[in-house]
Structure 1
Amino acid sequence: MGTRALTPLAAAREAAGHTQETFAAALKVERSTIGRWERGVQSPKPWQRHGLADALGVSLGELDNLLHRTTRRPETAVRHAEATERVQTSPEPDGPAPLLRDTDGLAPAADVDVIHAAIPRLRRALDRLDLPDDGSTRTPANLRGEIVLASDDRLQSRYRSLAYRLPGLIAEIARAGQRGDATDRRHAATLLTLALRAADGIAFKFGYLDLSARLIDLMRSAAQRAEDPLLVAAVAYVRTETFFATGDLGAAARALELAADQLPALDTASSSAAFGALHMRAAVVAARAGKPDRAADHLREARRAAAVVPEGVYHGTVFGPASLRIHDLAVAVESRDPAGIERAAAWQPPDELPAERRSHYFIDLARAQLTLGRHQDAYLCLQAARRSAPEHTRAHPQVRRSLSALLRTHPAPSSQLLDLAAWARAR
């Protein structure tokens, strides 16, 4: 049985952690009233809107937008729900995978609505970092497990779970940072840096570039308060996103090289991993800037680090021999190097790698196969990316560009290609 797509108001209610029953109880209305609001057949009364906005954690202006979008598209929502109920149950060998659903059974379209609906709550948590809402507050030591889970959600591209949990978690870490001694405050700053990085995993991938830039600035400040040079290096790695978005590759290269130069002695796995990750990313920047020799220099430095570091997650960044091979491919694609692409295509990322990183490999490989005119191989790579990390793949703009190119080159595209393009919202 398929699951109906959520309307914007219903998505916001889920993002706030409410069922229809708990939402109705909080607002002192009948559950059927919540259902009518969410279907867009009835609007809340003016005197109900303040309580509704508070329960959702949004402003009145944001609530008006949610209600407007809900009432404007009842027919669209029904058609969308019907479309997401179509699931392939017997894929052809080496062909497309079934429509993937998350563990809660929601179709990807509903996931996207939940993520977008959570953004106002996330902005509100950031606005109040120095004035967090009152609430229960664990010590930084007891909050560490929550950060481990949030980082894992980011790396495994479970963005819906992140969107649901992060606003409250960020507020609790902010409260923890105002208590305890200097050591507790440094630990809280470390946790806040990693929580903000998890939030950026949503903001950047779903097109909230202003929010991403703000999160990175907050990350830099929190990492400085944590007094951990390896955490500062990890933020420099993430900061590259800002320069990618603006096209300022020169600044990206300088920031990465400066961060690598400022690292302490490479006498631990964590410090070597930080050094290698910075050079690994600098190689991609150099290749994109049309500097293949400089890219090769950075890859050599990264290989030197990967030779002594096991694959793992270091201060929120994945690094090791397999991650380096994925960046080898990215450099080859950016440099339009057919030989490098061929070498990379002969390898497959191990299942032990985080899902997001595996899907990056297949997305880049699809782009490479397109440049080589191998359209079927490109299609199969995009399906592999989808199987690895559906939420990440569906949100990635390169996936839509690759699918659009495939549609343009096939005057009579197969139903499998059309289904994949519709799922990724490619035109």
Structure 2
Amino acid sequence: MSAPSAHGGVGRRIAYYRSVVHPKMTQQRLADTARVALGTIRKIERGERGVSDATLEAVAVALGVDPALLRTDRRSPHTAVHGALPALSAALAAYDIPEDGPVRPLHELRTTVAEAVHWRLAAQYTRMARELPDLLTELARAYHAASAHERRGLAELLVSAYRSADAVAYKFGALDLSARLVELMRWIVPETEHPLFTAAVAYVRTETFFAARAYATGLQALERAIDAVPAPHTASERAAKGALHMRAAVIAGRACDATAAQIHLDEARALADRTVEGVYYGTAFGPDSVRVHEVSVAVGLGADHVGYALTLARGWQPTPGLQAERRSGFYIELARAQLWSGLADPAFESLKVARRIAPQHTREHPWVREDAATLRRLKRAESESLTHFAQWCSAV
């Protein structure tokens, strides 16, 4: 027999559907309806024994649910994106020895990479996962076959394409693949001979520090990157430096360094006040982006700062022109602040707004699953829509 933890997921889901979806169904009633021994039901729900296919089918019928809802590990749902990750990994493995094949003209490749950047900012992960393996292979083929004077432009396209691929890997929990993509970005970016592309890669590299919870080290890396950005005279230069300050503020918040977080937010705000909101070298920056990050920093600093997060958000919302991923992230952060403040209903409304803006980004965000599960515990006998939301984001 497997260890209890191997079966806990199935048992928890059975207990959930029995006690929450069917609050009047006792273990005895479930056992009687499914024609399974009461002791078996108790052990299954406690994760102390496995479940045969026949027993699972009988329990599912008794609960009135699809057996797949009980059997699947809903915390790690297998989606079309997950199915595409091996192809993405294979494309990266052959980055220096790509297969032979056709290569489109440079202007066509630029158009396709620009589309991939748009998909990333719009959180269209399924489309990226489907299209990027072939695009990365073609770009690698073009880069290795190019003359010296053509390589700079292709290096820029590779940085942007790798970044789009990294968004897929990181958001869907493939952290080793994400780290590999970050290293490939760092490998190719010197070929661009462009400090703003280097700044963009430093911004993305912070993911590896978030994943490792190495917040202090990540802050040091960002501050070095900030020092390396040229004195900002153009909008793009202000945006590059400001985006790094935004990122540094967030990771300083995670490091519980409120002073450093405030310093970087002040720098970002000063630069944003002189910059029109937009996308610069693949990163959104401007006044709205800084406000979103101010809320994120307050939430990252913990429960003592959530009141400030709510004050920042009161009477303000990101404009529709802001990229979908960033807008949905704002409402996810706001929902956490509201939940910590005991505002369960507003928190659920914020999560629903996040889903409307960017469904895939919201569904894959770990905070959404955690907060939806917490809301279900707080409101056990209420809201069918909350139950459906919790199922949708794999919180049950």
| TM-score, normalization by structure 2 | 0.79
User: Does 2:322 match 1:356?
Assistant: no
Amino acid at match of 2:127: S
Residues 140 and 173 of structure 1 are in contact (CA less than 8 Å); yes or no, is this contact kept in structure 2?
no
Residues 132 and 174 of structure 1 are in contact (CA less than 8 Å); yes or no, is this contact kept in structure 2?
yes
Describe the SS at the equivalent of 1:313: strand
Residues 189 and 225 of structure 1 are in contact (CA less than 8 Å); yes or no, is this contact kept in structure 2?
yes
Amino acid at match of 2:260: R
* TM superposition outliers: structure 1 runs of 4+ over 4 Å: 79-83
User: Does 2:364 match 1:395?
Assistant: yes
Percent of pairs with identical residues = 47
User: Out of 327, 336, 342, which is 2:293 matched to?
Assistant: 327
Describe the SS at the equivalent of 2:144: coil
Instruction: Report the CA distance between 1:81 and its aligned residue.
Output: 11
User: Does 2:157 match 1:191?
Assistant: yes
Amino acid at match of 2:110: R
Residues 129 and 168 of structure 2 are in contact (CA less than 8 Å); yes or no, is this contact kept in structure 1?
yes
Residues 309 and 337 of structure 2 are in contact (CA less than 8 Å); yes or no, is this contact kept in structure 1?
no
| 1:314 corresponding residue in structure 2 | 280
| 2:200 corresponding residue in structure 1 | 234
Looking at structure 2, the residues matched to 124 and 201 of structure 1 have their Cα atoms a distance apart, in angstroms, of: 17
Looking at structure 1, the residues matched to 192 and 211 of structure 2 have their Cα atoms a distance apart, in angstroms, of: 27
| 2:186 corresponding residue in structure 1 | 220
User: Out of 328, 332, 335, which is 1:366 matched to?
Assistant: 335
Residues 257 and 282 of structure 1 are in contact (CA less than 8 Å); yes or no, is this contact kept in structure 2?
yes
User: Out of 112, 132, 146, which is 1:166 matched to?
Assistant: 132
Mark the runs of 5 or more structure 2 residues left unpaired by the alignment.
1-56, 70-74
Instruction: Report the CA distance between 1:112 and its aligned residue.
Output: 5.4
Residues 139 and 176 of structure 1 are in contact (CA less than 8 Å); yes or no, is this contact kept in structure 2?
no
Looking at structure 2, the residues matched to 394 and 369 of structure 1 have their Cα atoms a distance apart, in angstroms, of: 19
Mark the runs of 5 or more structure 1 residues left unpaired by the alignment.
1-74, 84-108
Cα pair distance change 1:218/1:81, threshold 3 Å = farther
Describe the SS at the equivalent of 1:370: helix
Trace 1:182-331 onto structure 2 (pairs within 5 A): 182-331=148-297
User: Out of 385, 388, 397, which is 2:354 matched to?
Assistant: 385
Looking at structure 1, the residues matched to 205 and 123 of structure 2 have their Cα atoms a distance apart, in angstroms, of: 19
User: Does 2:305 match 1:339?
Assistant: no
Describe the SS at the equivalent of 2:284: strand
Looking at structure 1, the residues matched to 322 and 333 of structure 2 have their Cα atoms a distance apart, in angstroms, of: 16
Looking at structure 2, the residues matched to 288 and 202 of structure 1 have their Cα atoms a distance apart, in angstroms, of: 23
User: Out of 70, 77, 83, which is 1:117 matched to?
Assistant: 83
Residues 360 and 385 of structure 1 are in contact (CA less than 8 Å); yes or no, is this contact kept in structure 2?
yes
User: Does 2:388 match 1:422?
Assistant: no
Instruction: Report the CA distance between 1:413 and its aligned residue.
Output: 3.2
Looking at structure 2, the residues matched to 255 and 167 of structure 1 have their Cα atoms a distance apart, in angstroms, of: 30
Trace 1:60-209 onto structure 2 (pairs within 5 A): 113-209=79-175
Q: Note the aligned Cα RMSD (angstroms).
A: 2.0
Deviations 1:284-336 (A, max 9, x none): 11111111111110011001110111111111111111111100110111224
Deviations 1:378-401 (A, max 9, x none): 000000000000010001111001
Residues 332 and 341 of structure 1 are in contact (CA less than 8 Å); yes or no, is this contact kept in structure 2?
no
The range that moved more, 332-341 or 388-397, is 332-341
Describe the SS at the equivalent of 1:283: helix
Instruction: Report the CA distance between 1:199 and its aligned residue.
Output: 0.5
Amino acid at match of 2:161: A
Amino acid at match of 1:326: V
Looking at structure 2, the residues matched to 245 and 127 of structure 1 have their Cα atoms a distance apart, in angstroms, of: 22
Looking at structure 1, the residues matched to 176 and 66 of structure 2 have their Cα atoms a distance apart, in angstroms, of: 29
Residues 229 and 263 of structure 1 are in contact (CA less than 8 Å); yes or no, is this contact kept in structure 2?
yes
Describe the SS at the equivalent of 1:177: helix
Describe the SS at the equivalent of 2:100: coil
Residues 309 and 334 of structure 2 are in contact (CA less than 8 Å); yes or no, is this contact kept in structure 1?
no
| TM-score, normalization by structure 1 | 0.73
Looking at structure 2, the residues matched to 243 and 351 of structure 1 have their Cα atoms a distance apart, in angstroms, of: 30
Cα pair distance change 1:80/1:253, threshold 3 Å = farther
Deviations 1:47-88 (A, max 9, x none): xxxxxxxxxxxxxxxxxxxxxxxxxxxx99xx76998xxxxx
How many pairs does the alignment contain?
Answer: 326
Residues 362 and 381 of structure 1 are in contact (CA less than 8 Å); yes or no, is this contact kept in structure 2?
yes
Amino acid at match of 2:318: P
